[in-house]
Copies of this chain bind each other. A is one copy, B any other.
């Protein structure tokens, strides 16, 4: 039975406000059992794409920040709360992208050994936390330097990891991250990206670098400029950036009204 093999690790941040033993015994009265939220928070900064991970005290391996849904909050509110508690950020655009519900999603051979040797497995396996859990995935794409990762008292650490160089991930969280990246890459085809990720004024090569970093491939420069300009979301400023004797590319900014319209109309450059 699932109960004997799985363990739910996506402890709500609220745990810190409750006594641990009480949470294990009575948490299900406050939270919906068997359903959690995990947030894949990507951070972009100077041509690097990172993801926010946390590690548990007493367990090797990292996982996404996640938690349970309070019975009095919507799943959207729960996702925003979890994001805020781990990054200090509010008003971040969070997008639900997939719900993960495989039977043994919290276990794989590597995880099993890690988890069975942990304090949590021993304490929680017979409780509501030991049941199979289905998790709703949300992602956010934020400017890296704006977030201050905050571990809670059950975490050993909470930190940014380069997506090209991830540590050992617990549960199905590697699959969750991959699905989130693939979702973002597909969305680049029909949505603009860059607002809140780049400085207010930027050059086309800087915007191209953002696309290339997310897509993890190069794009032909002329093709990029043609498609991105035809979207109509950019305003060319009467300023240039001096980056060399013969190089001073024009500066651009996003036309926020047209940017938002492109988002709502699912209009993108099609890369």
Contact = CB atoms under 8 A, between A and B. Distances in A.
Nearest to A73: B103
A72 B32 CA distance: 19
Interface string A89-112: 000000010110111000000000
A34 B35 CA distance: 9
A154 B24 CA distance: 38
Interface residues of A, number: 28
A190 interface: yes
Interface string A105-138: 0000000000000000000000000001010100
Interface of A: 2, 32-35, 69, 71-76, 96, 98-99, 101-103, 132, 134, 136, 185-186, 189-190, 266, 268, 270
21 contacts: A2-B71, A32-B34, A32-B134, A33-B34, A34-B35, A69-B101, A71-B132, A73-B103, A74-B103, A75-B134, A76-B101, A96-B98, A96-B99, A99-B136, A186-B190, A186-B266, A189-B189, A189-B266, A189-B268, A189-B270, A190-B270
A69 to B, nearest CB: 7
A185 to B, nearest CB: 8
